[in-house]
Amino acid sequence: MDIQKLLKNNGYRVTTERQHVINVINEHPLTVQEIYNELKKGQFDIDLASVYRSLNLFVKLGIVRALELGEGKKRYELVEEHNHHHHLVCNNCGSIENITMNENYLLKAIDKKSKFKIDHHHLEFFGRCANCQ
């Protein structure tokens, strides 16, 4: 996904702040505070309100997805068109790992049993990571 082109095509400027926010969200879902802290560690001059505004815009444009992983706060991750994945969340240390899997069997079983038309889905698995077992 060409984020700069998407912003421009929708009438938004590609600012340094927006670019830094996107660059921080890379490996796993982060909270607003975690994104802000990473930016501050990198010596980027940005305020928390700008991080919120950027994330809200990115969600609106479909660049970033907001997730709730049972913590009472949102986490944000990049929407990757060709990398559909789910999450393994450690109940002990809080680590989050992406996992790619073929859930077609599950989706077909739901369709067969309920005739429910699924538009999209999220699967999160909670337990203990290898380090915490």
Token pair in block for residue 44: 């980027």
State if pTM tops 0.85.
Answer: no
> Which residue segments constitute the domains of the chain, with CATH numbers given?
3-78 (1.10.10.10), 86-127 (3.30.1490.190)
Which tens digits make up the pLDDT trace of 10-64?
999 989 899 899 889 876 789 999 999 999 988 888 999 999 999 999 999 988 9
pLDDT tens figures, 87-130: 888 989 888 887 877 888 888 888 888 878 877 777 888 899 99
Q: Which candidate, 82, 78, 87, places its Cα nearest to that of 121? A: 87
